[in-house]
Structure formats: C-alpha cells, structure tokens
Amino acid sequence: MITTPEQVARKVCREDMTNRAVVVLPHSSSPPKTTGRGYYFTTPSGKTEVRYPNAYGYPTLYHGSTLAVEVGDKWLAKIQSRLENPPKGMKWKRDKDGIFLERQTDGMDFHVSHEDIARKDFVTYVRNQMAANYKNRLQAQRLEKQFSDKVSSTLVTFTDARQAGNCVEGILGWAKRKLGMDKESFLAAPWLTQIPAKLLLKLDPENQLLKNSINQAWLRENMVSI
C-alpha cells in the first residue's frame, strides 16, 4: 500500500512521528484528533509540576507522554478504501517526491498530501487540480520557444512553479532534495524565495517540469517589464 490510514490520521493531526499511538474508536466516524499530553516532571508527591527539572535541585518524578491520535474506525475505513481504490482512470504511485496519482490516459500526475487524502471532496479536488496543472503545463511548454537564453537574470518563485502546472507536494519534495529547504520554512513566506534559473538548471538540467517553471518566470518578468 502507498501509505496507511493510520499515517494519514497522524499527518492530519500534524503528528509526524510514525510511532505515535493511534487509538481507534469503535462504531465512530470521528476525524482524527490529538489527545493526551507530552512528558513532564513533578515533585515526588505528584502534586506540583516541575518545569525545569535539571535546574530544580531536588528529586523529581518523571511522567511519560500520553499523546495519541484518536480516530473513528469508520473514518479509517473510508481512507483505506481511497488507498485501495484510486479515482477512476488513475493509479497510485510513489517517487522520490512522495505519493501521487497518475492519470492512465496520458501519464499526467498529481502529488497529494496526506491532508488531501482526507478531504471530503477528495476525488473532485484531485481531478480539478490535475486538470488545472495539465492546462498550465501545456502553456508553459509553449513558452519554450519564446524563452530567452539569458537565464542568469531570471529568478524563479514558488508561484512560478505552481503556475507552470507543478503540484505543491512535488515542488516541496524537489526543494527539500535539491535545495535543502524544509517545508515549514518554505511555506512560511514562499513569495520571498527567489532562486536563480541558472542554479536550478545546474542542479537538474534534464527536468522538463523545472524548465516549465523557468519559462513561466521569464514570462512573468517580461510582462512586468513591458
């Protein structure tokens, strides 16, 4: 299986620890939520919490973490069905940038997040996103003939990559592998991240999707300069 319902539940709760306990509620459709609390220290009596045990200077009592992800069994069953039965005409796959759905007619792909899998409108969302990305990719490829050779002066942004038809998860996976950028920092202010096209081509010269992003950046810069 491409991933597990339990892992989807953890990700929805922003719990990246794969060993976080998942408590399944029987006969329930409840979406996942985090319960419990992290580890802490108290005085030996257990009545007073000690926030800084190393600086306390007296004996303390350790209390282990009780954090867990609580989710209904029917919710997990729904996710299980989605993972076993992809949208009609598509199939699940995984690459170095994560899990994605591939359209069997033309190979068009869309990287999904675990949060995407949990969406109520999952199938409609995926089809709409894939259609929009396909349209943008065709447009970006048409720009290839217009693209200037002076790539050193072109700066590529997250928005350029999105408008070129690249999915969010795919962009984030590539940025982490090639540029060492973590997801949280990148998404905190994506408009501030501007990467020279010359550097991008040096890192991944044969990547057509990357070239599409550069083409889109070139178009944006030239439209602004007119």
Sheet holding 49-50, edge to edge: 49-50, 40-42, 61-63
Whether residues 179 and 125 share a domain: the answer is yes
pTM of the predicted structure, to 2 decimals: 0.68
Q: What is the pLDDT of residues 118-134, one digit of tens each?
A: 999 999 999 999 999 99
Q: Summarize the confidence of residues 74-92 as an average pLDDT.
A: 96
Whether residues 226 and 204 share a domain: the answer is yes
Whether residues 100 and 199 share a domain: the answer is yes
Q: Summarize the confidence of residues 82-92 as an average pLDDT.
A: 95
- How far is it, in rounded angstroms, from Cα 60 to Cα 40? 10
Q: Which domain holds residue 69?
A: 5-78
Whether residues 90 and 74 share a domain: the answer is no
Whether residue 17 has pLDDT greater than 70: no
Q: What is the pLDDT of residues 18-31, one digit of tens each?
A: 678 999 999 999 99
Whether residue 14 has pLDDT greater than 90: no
**Buried-state track 48-62, b at ≥16 Cβ within 10 A, e below 16:** eebeebeeeeeebee
What's the pLDDT at 97?
86
What is the longest distance spanned by two Cα atoms in the chain? 75
Within 10 Å of residue 143's Cβ, how many Cβ atoms? 18
Whether residues 74 and 91 share a domain: the answer is no
Whether residues 210 and 135 share a domain: the answer is yes
Domain boundary among 17, 43, 78: 78
Whether residue 226 has pLDDT greater than 50: no
Percent of the chain with pLDDT over 70: 92
More confident call, 128 vs 139:
128
Whether residues 117 and 221 share a domain: the answer is yes
Residues forming beta bridges with residue 98, ordered by sequence position: 95
Q: What is the pLDDT of residues 148-197, one digit of tens each?
A: 555 667 899 998 999 888 988 889 889 888 988 887 777 777 777 889 98
What's the pLDDT at 1?
59
Whether residues 216 and 140 share a domain: the answer is yes
State the sign of the Cα–Cα–Cα–Cα dihedral 74, 80, 83, 84.
negative
Q: How confident is the model at residue 138 (pLDDT cuts 50, 70, 90)?
A: confident
Specify the number of domains making up the chain.
Answer: 2
What's the pLDDT at 149?
58
Cβ-contact 71, 13 below 8 angstroms: no
